[in-house]
Amino acid sequence: MFFVESYPLAIVFCVITMLCWGSWANTQKLAAGKWRYELFYWDYVIGIFLFSLLAALTMGSTGEQGRSFLPDLQQASGANIGSALLGGIIFNLANILLSSAIAIAGMSVAFPVGIGLALVVGVIINYANHQKGDPLLLFAGVALVSLAIILNAIAYRKKSATVSKAGAKGIVLSIVAGLLMSFFYPFVAGSMDLDNFVNPEASKMTPYTASVIFAAGILLSNFLFNTIMMKRPLEGASISYTEYFKGRLSLHFIGILGGSIWALGNLFNLIAAGKAGPAISYGLGQGATLVAAVWGVLIWKEFAGSSKQVKNLIAAMFLLFVIGLGLVIAAGL
């Protein structure tokens, strides 16, 4: 089993997580206009599960150290399996609402508001459960990220003289998604022995096994959550499963790619949590907000034509995010 043995490498893994979690939504943007996001989301969820399973059977089952995937799964207690499953269910509800917000308000708004909020609340929850890292630096970084979120909301408000009904709905969905997203990680972290991945405590799971169970929770709950979204969509007419099976292979591939990108980030984040601690690992991972905002502003031009004042607010948001994330990293040194 591959695992992280140093804090610097754990930070590298967290940065990869940040890039993955902040970039997967580009696949949703690529499919937009050709493929309803509810249909895209099925492939995204399938991609998460398949990648997690493949990683557990390869990276999580090779080498002489640690328990390989299948033996680890067999010895895991029902309580720990249930905890990781519940984490997947909570995440899926949050993420499907976030996907709705992206479809309505765009990446540069949905991510800073939703995932930024998840970062702030999630770091507090994870630190309370597993106190690792300098609290002063950690929460100073979180405070700057909070200010960056406020600046983003102000910029979005100033982008238009009035926020449209759809835009307001996107912001509300982002807030709800962010609050829900804050609570999934402790359930997954609690199913693992964070202090010893090499010889984990009996009944606890390695990050590889926990990521598969977590992904299974996402996949299973999607039959409920996404079916509801397809029948009673937040925007547009209802759609059927028939339309999903009529989709082009290229569109299915885009969704599976998006899920695989997110799953890679999730696995690296769980692996890094052993050395960095869940609060720092989660907090840096949710720096995905910054990555998504860069994509939304620079690539998708979601603030094109905005005034100089709005552009200054966006620049200040980026600066605060970078400094805030730097303080989160320093908290573990």
Q: What would the pLDDT profile of 61-85 be if each residue is shown by its tens digit?
A: 988 888 999 999 999 999 999 999 9
Q: How far is CA 57 from CA 69, 78, 81, in A?
A: 6, 21, 18
DSSP single-letter state for residue 201: P
Q: What would the pLDDT profile of 190-248 be if each residue is shown by its tens digit?
A: 999 998 888 889 999 999 999 999 999 999 999 999 999 999 988 789 999 999 999 99
Residue given tokens 């493929």 in the structure block: 35
Helices 278-285 and 135-159: crossing angle, nearest 10°? 20
Q: Do 158 and 330 meet the contact criterion of CB atoms below 8 Å apart?
A: no
Query: Can you give the pTM of this predicted structure?
Result: 0.88
Q: In one letter, which amino acid is 264?
A: L
Grade residue 305 by pLDDT with cuts at 50, 70 and 90.
confident
Per-domain boundaries in the chain: 7-330
| Spatial distance between the Cα atoms of 10 and 3, rounded to a whole number of angstroms | 9
How confident is the prediction for the chain on average, in pLDDT?
Answer: 90
179 exposure class (CB count in 10 Å sphere: 0-12, 13-18, 19+): middle
